[in-house]
Amino acid sequence: MSDFIASKEDDYSKWYLDIVQKAKLADYSPVKGCMVIMPYGYSIWSKIQSILDKKFKETGHENAYFPMLIPYSFLEREKDHIDGFSPEFAIIKDAGGESLAEPLVLRPTSETIIWNMYSKWIKSYRDLPLKINQWANVVRWEKRTRPFLRTTEFLWQEGHTAHATEEEALEETLLILDVYKRFIEDYLAIPVFCGKKSEKEKFAGAVSTYSIEALMQDKKALQAATSHYLGLNFAKAFDVKFQDKDGKMRHVFASSWGVSTRLIGALIMVHSDEKGLVLPPRIAPIEIIVIPIFKKEDEINKKILDYSDCVVDALKKAEFRVEIDKDVRSSPGFRFSSAEFKGIPIRLEVGINDVLLNSVTISRRDKDRKFKYQISLDSLISKVKVELDLMQKDLFQRALNFRILNTKEIFRSSKDSYETFKAYVNDYSGFVLSCWCGSLNCENIIKNETKATIRCIPDDFKARDLTGMTCIYCSSKAKYFVLFAKSY
C-alpha cells in the first residue's frame, strides 16, 4: 500500500499531496483553490483550536464573531492594507436579487471591520485593553494553491487587541508570539525561529510584523504564525480614541495575530515519512490504535477480541485517545498501513500469544515497523505514557537536528562572499544566517537572484555582536543578523 506514496526525494510535492490524500486529511473541491477538510484533518484542526483557545483565554482574551462581509470602502481606509490585499479580493456586488449600493468584500482579514466596531466600543481608558479573538474562515484569491499551505478559503483565528499605550500593545504582540512558539514547539514538536520581519515582508498595515519560521523536510521555510504590532494605523483609519486618565483624548494602539489551517501543512511536512503522516502524540486525534491479529479459528478470535476490548477499555479509562481496528476482512499488514497513513503514534498488536501471556505488543509510528516489543498488561498504562512522551520528545529532537544540520552561517569574510552565499542557497537550501545592511535594494536583489527571502531578524541571534560585520550583498555596514531561506 505504501508504494502509493511518492518518494520524498523523487517528488516532494507529490509526496505531500499523497499524504494529504492517504491520511484523508483533505480533498479537492469543485471550487478552484478551495479544499474540503475531511473528518480526520478536521479533528487535527479541532485539537489545535482547543489547545490554543485555552491559551488565549488564560492570557485574558475573549472570543467574538464579526461579519464576514466587509464594505469595500472600509478596506480602502488604510492605504498599505488595501494595496496589499486588494489583488486577492472576492467581491459581492449582487445579493437578494439586487445590485448592492456598495460592493462587499469577503474578509481577507478583519482589522477593518473590527476597528470600525472598536470605534463604537472604546470610549475611555476603562474600556482598555480590549482583547478579542475570532475563529473564522477567510478568503484570499490565490493564483497557486495547495491543500493546507495556501488555499483560497481557509480557517484561522485572528486576535485583535486595543491598548492605551504603545508599550502595552508591543508587549501583547510579543506575548502572543511566545504563545505561538510554545504551542508549535511543545505540541506540534516543530522547532522554530522567532523574529521580526523586514519592512518588505511585513503585514500590509502593520508597523512591524513578528513571525515564526519553521523548516520543512525539503529545506524550505514555512511561516507558521504571525503577530503584528499595528501602532495607530487602524485607530487613525477608523478614528478610535479614548479618554485617558488625564482627561485627554488619545488614539488607541493595536496588535493583531493569527494562525491558520496552514499549521497542518507544517505538521505534515516536518514529521511525515513515506509510510504516511507522522503525528506528535500531543496533537494526535488518536494516540493509540489497537490491532487484533486474528487466526483462522473463530473461537480463538473471540478470545483475542474480548482481550483487545479490555485493553481499549483500560486505556480509555486512563483517558487516552484510543481506537481499535477490528476489521476481520483486512490483513494485519493492511491495518498497520492504515494506521501508518494516519500517523497514529502508538500501535498495540494483540495476538493469541499476547492473550496467553497477558501482554500486548507495542510499537511506535516513528520507528521501524519491526521495532516492537511485548509489555505486560500490568505496565500497559505506564509504558504507553512513557512511549508517547518519548515520541513527542524524539520528534522534536529529530526535527531540531535536521534544522541544525540545515542552518548554515555565511558571513562576508576573506573566504566567503555573496557568491558563496548564492551557491550555497542554490545547492543546499535550508536556513542561512547572514548579515544585512537593511536596504530594500539588497533584499530585492538577493531575492531575485537566489529566490531566498529574509524570513526574519531572529531573536536567537540578537545577543551576537555585529561589530565589523557587513551586508552579505553590498558589503556595507550590517544592521542585522537575518535568516534567509526559500519559503512556502
328 binds its own copies (CB under 8 A): no
Q: What angle do CA 93, 97, 100 make, to 5 degrees?
A: 30
Report how far apart, in Å, the C-alpha atoms of 162 and of each of 55, 74, 242, 271 are: 19, 18, 10, 37
- Should residue 92 be labelled a site residue for its own copies when binding is judged by CB under 8 A? yes
C-alpha to C-alpha distance for 363 and 371, rounded to whole angstroms: 6
- Core vs surface per residue 249-267: b (16+ CB within 10 A) or e: ebbbbbbbbbbbbbbbbbb
Q: Does 330 bind its own copies (CB under 8 A)?
A: no
Binder of its own copies out of 71, 84, 332, 438 (CB under 8 A): 71
Dist CA 48 CA 192 (whole Å): 17
End-to-end Cα separation, the chain, in angstroms: 29
Nearer to its own copies, 155 or 221 (CB): 155
Q: Which of 337, 388, 342, 396 is nearest to 362 (CA)?
A: 388
Q: Is 106 in the site for its own copies (CB under 8 A)?
A: yes
Q: Lay out the sheet containing 346-350: strands in order across.
A: 322-324, 288-292, 346-350, 359-364, 372-376
By the rule CB under 8 A, 141 interacts with its own copies: yes
Stretch that binds its own copies, among 41-49, 262-270, 373-381, 460-468 (CB under 8 A): 41-49
In the list 4, 65, 334, 371, the residue contacting its own copies (rule: CB under 8 A) is: 65
d(C-alpha 195, C-alpha 482), whole Å: 9
CA–CA gap between residue 228 and residue 230 (Å, rounded)? 6
By CB under 8 A, which span of 116-124, 173-181, 229-237, 269-277 interacts with its own copies? Answer: 116-124
Minimum distance of its own copies from residue 46's CB (angstroms): 7
| Residue 38 in the binding site for its own copies (CB under 8 A) | yes
Taking contact as CB under 8 A, which single stretch among the options 117-125, 214-222, 396-404, 408-416 is the one that binds its own copies?
Answer: 117-125
CB closer to its own copies, 102 vs 419: 102
Output the smallest distance, CB 42 to its own copies, in A. Answer: 5
Give the pairing type, strands 322-324 and 288-292: parallel
Interface residue with its own copies, options 34, 232, 377, 474 (CB under 8 A): 34
Per CB under 8 A, which region of 90-98, 305-313, 349-357, 426-434 contacts its own copies?
90-98
* Residue found by looking up cell 483609519 in the block: 237
Binding-site size, its own copies (CB under 8 A): 55
Q: Does 67 bind its own copies (CB under 8 A)?
A: yes
157 is a contact residue toward its own copies (CB under 8 A): no
CA angle 242, 247, 253 (to 5 degrees): 30
Angle at which helices 298-317 and 380-405 cross, to 10°: 70
Interface stretch with its own copies, choices 88-96, 192-200, 426-434, 463-471 (CB under 8 A): 88-96
Q: Is residue 95 close enough to count as binding its own copies by CB under 8 A?
A: yes
By CB under 8 A, residue 153 contacts its own copies: yes
What interhelical angle do 12-22 and 262-271 show, nearest 10? 110
Is 286 among the residues that bind its own copies (CB under 8 A)?
A: no
Residue 469 binding its own copies, by CB under 8 A? no
Under the binding rule (CB under 8 A), the answer on residue 423 touching its own copies is no
| 85 counts as binding its own copies under rule CB under 8 A | no
CB nearer to its own copies: give 49 or 165.
Answer: 49
Give me the helix-helix angle, 39-58 and 166-186, nearest 10°: 140
Residues near its own copies, by CB under 8 A = 27, 29-31, 34-39, 41-43, 45-46, 62-71, 74, 86-97, 104, 106, 113, 116-117, 120-121, 132, 136-137, 139, 141-143, 152-153, 155
